[in-house]
Structure 1
Amino acid sequence: MNQIINGDSLELMKDIDNGSIDLIITSPPYNIGKEYEKVMDIQDYKAWIKQYVKEFYRLIKDTGSVVFQIGNYVEKGKVYPLDCLLFDLFLDEGFIPRNRIIWHFGHGLHAKKRFSGRHETLLWFTKTDEYKFNLDPVRVPQKYPNKKAYKGDKKGQLSGNPLGKNPSDVWEISNVKSNHPEKTDHPCQFPIELVSRCIKSMTDVGDLVMDPFLGSGTTIVSAIQENRNSIGIEKDAHYCQIAEERVLSVTA
């Protein structure tokens, strides 16, 4: 099952059963005036996000996770990291923080009066301590793959896991800009690699993944590639069409 729904996600999520989602992964508008959002007072923005956080807690299973990818709110040259401003909303709802993942990309914003911003963050929360985490599918190559222990009981054996090492909480993944092969009309697009690492590590085959700010459909595309079920909600009909076309291309 892979569903793309056009409409208001706060309203549509009310029709989804309690504790039915294995992973919610999403990136909301940053309140910076993009074509798909209306800029609010920052306190109003936080109150709006809080409504989503409450729904997330209701919807995910006890073994489930929420990954909330976010950047900065910028007002008249002042930069506010939204992960810091919104973090307490998740704690107040009862979520348990697991990682603050740094997504670093090598190009993007060019600044003249401050250092250029080249990273955003993913906040990973769970509902309980009995959450899913599968490290092996997302291991990355060892720095020294043939390094062996030189003493002790394991002398002569490989000192690192032959399947690779933990990718850590800093992810070097290109962002989707004009020349990126995944680029669509959406101005702020997830790269598939970013989403797939979360899906592979935090869910099992057949689990249900949801993205209430679907945008160009990357979460659905990644879920299909990893043999998961998915629900995506997007209020903009044009972006829904882009998502549907991407889904058709990947299923073909």
Structure 2
Amino acid sequence: MNRALLPHTFSSHDWPPRVSLGDAGEQLNSLAARSVDLVVCSPPYNIGKIYERQHKLSFNEYLRWQEEIIEKLSAVIKQGGSVCWQVGNHIKDGVLTPLDIPFYGLFVKHGFVLRNRIIWRFNFGRNSDRRFSGRYESVLWFTLGDGYKFNLDPIRVPQLYPGKRHSKNKGANAGRPSGNPKGKNPSDYWEFSAERDFLENPVWDIPNVKAGHPEKTEHPCQFPIELAERCVLGLSDPGDFVLDPFVGTGSTLIAAAKHGRRGVGFEKEAAFADIANRRIEALCRGELPMRPSGTPVRRPGATEKVAKIPDEWRSNDQPAGDNNDGREE
């Protein structure tokens, strides 16, 4: 039997997390009210990807469909539960619409409170010759009411100035170290794992999943495990129930399983759902290829072929091997 063909009823006690084949709107009806602790999701952007072509929607139709999903999420999430909704841009006929703008209004309309708008920056993205190339997307962190979980310690980054101390006019704290010995809050600008930033600055650096990435599958818009992992660690506890209604190849559930959370994901494309369940199974066997969290983003050395300017680009007065300022494009 295809690993994705699972019963359409789910228990919040199930572990490891699993993926069910089917439409997100329909399958959300099978979840018990107030049963979900955390949603981590990157929904379709309605820009014509392979998994969107059978159901072409106008932009307004797309937003109405997404509002139906959000309304159903508001019924299954616990009071105090969190949603991390990762979105980019909708682009049509050269017109760009940042999706976090309409999604903010849709979530607020259904009782959610925005706690952070997080910027995820990556090195490679959509190139353009009519506007600046896109190199970031947004993660909107909403909660359903107050009393939400925020576990800062598991996601702290090292202090930039560990030796910094309070000034002499700080009363009882005068002269004492001003930072937390466990590290500092990583802020709302995420550049996961670049060594110069992760170790020295309050930012996180996660490369997006492109060719050569150990997690790459055939999915065209794959979600990096490490991005979901930060949300899982910071906004849920071991044993909590995690949901991804548009799970793709399973990165959210892999992050959940890796850290002892339960959960379920929904995916309407059978090929992707099967890949997701096989990846979760591989994780449980200790065999899943993953980019280790906290490892530096690789930069090509000056002598590597990909770092050298091609002969076709070199001007008559530019010496061979001159790579301008060395920054990646």
**TM-score range for the pair, normalised by the shorter chain length:** over 0.9
Letter in 2 for 1:96: V
Of 26, 40, 45, the match for 1:11: 26
Equivalent residue pairs, number? 252
Instruction: Name whichever of 177-186 and 26-35 sits farther off.
Output: 177-186
User: Which residue does 2:37 correspond to in 1?
Assistant: 22
Following TM superposition, the consecutive aligned residue runs of length 4 or more in structure 1 with deviations greater than 3 angstroms are: none
SS in 1 for 2:43: coil
- Rounded Cα–Cα distance in structure 2 between residues aligned with 1:146 and 1:181: 38
Partner SS state of residue 64, structure 1: strand
- Of structures 1 and 2, the larger Rg is shown by 2
- Aligned positions of 1:61-80 closer than 5 A: 61-80=78-97
What is the distance in 2 between the residues matched to 1:137 and 1:20?
24
Deviation at 1:150, TM superposition (A): 4.7
Q: 1:170 corresponds to which residue?
A: 189
Q: Which amino acid aligns with 2:207?
A: S
**CA positional deviation for 1:89:** 0.8
Q: Note if contact 2:83-2:143 (Cα within 8 Å) is conserved in structure 1.
A: yes
Matched, 1:199 2:232: yes
Aligned AA for 1:175?
A: N
Alignment of 1:1-252 (within 5 A): 1=15, 2-38=17-53, 39-151=56-168, 152=170, 153-172=172-191, 173-252=206-285
What's the Cα RMSD here? 1.2
CA–CA distance in structure 2, aligned partners of residues 215 and 146 of structure 1: 44
Is the deviation greater in 180-189 or in 18-27?
180-189
Write the distance in 2 (CA, Å) between the matches of 1:101 and 1:190. Answer: 15
Greater share of strand: 1
- The Cα shift of 1:13 comes to 0.9
Deviation for aligned residue 1:220: 1.0
Q: Determine the C-alpha separation between the residues in 2 that align with 1:217 and 1:146.
A: 42
| Cα shift readout 1:143-168 (whole Å, capped 9, x = no counterpart) | 12233335243344322111111111
Distance in 1 between residues matched to 2:227 and 2:283, nearest whole Å: 17
Percent identity between matched residues is 48
Q: Is the partner of 1:65 in helix, strand or coil?
A: strand
* Structure 1 counterpart of 2:11: none
Distance 2:60 2:155 in 1: 37
For each residue in 1:18-66, what CA deviation from the matched residue of structure 2 results, as whole angstroms up to 9, or x when unmatched?
0000001111110100000133111100100000010110010012011
* 8 A Cα contact 2:18 2:277, kept in partner: no
| Partner amino acid, structure 2, of 1:197 | R
Please report the TM-score for the alignment, with normalisation by the length of structure 1.
0.97
Distance 1:59 1:17 in 2: 6
* TM-score (structure 2 length as normaliser): 0.74
- Paired residues of 2:89 and 2:99 also in contact (CA < 8 A): yes
Distance 2:111 2:165 in 1: 44
CA distance in structure 1 between the aligned counterparts of 2:180 and 2:260, rounded to whole angstroms: 26
Displacement of 1:97 in angstroms is: 1.1
